[in-house]
Structure 1
């Protein structure tokens, strides 16, 4: 989101309330297993791979997390992995 706001020229003061509900994910282990599962489901770019890997880390059963993205390919791979939108 910060990248989108920067690209669109949104000032930090205006973005802060919108970002306040986000929680950063800090995995406590390498995400190698998640990366392997994602790569087996289809190709995505590096940052998209990281986004999906963190989602799998947070919800390995894909039962309680809605995966949001505007990227078509990332959305397709997320669906193959079992995420809903």
Structure 2
């Protein structure tokens, strides 16, 4: 795939509520699969500054913290995410 990442979506959001990747002062937060069942712990978070970097890590098995208005952030597995690139959006 080529093209710049314009958004990352959850495939089947609960309650049909749209979730966005969580942005923190350090950047987008991801869970490192090397930490297994502890990847959700803050000390095991990995931060990136762009959606392109996040998409690259998702492709390597990293989970992404996502949030919706009025809800706590939750860690979403890579198999439950869809990366949308600008070249795909033009075709659709």
TM tier, smaller: under 0.3
Structure holding more strand per residue: 2
TM-score norm. by structure 2 comes to 0.21
Highest RCO, 1 vs 2 (Cα 8 Å, sep ≥ 6) = 2
TM-score norm. by structure 1 comes to 0.22
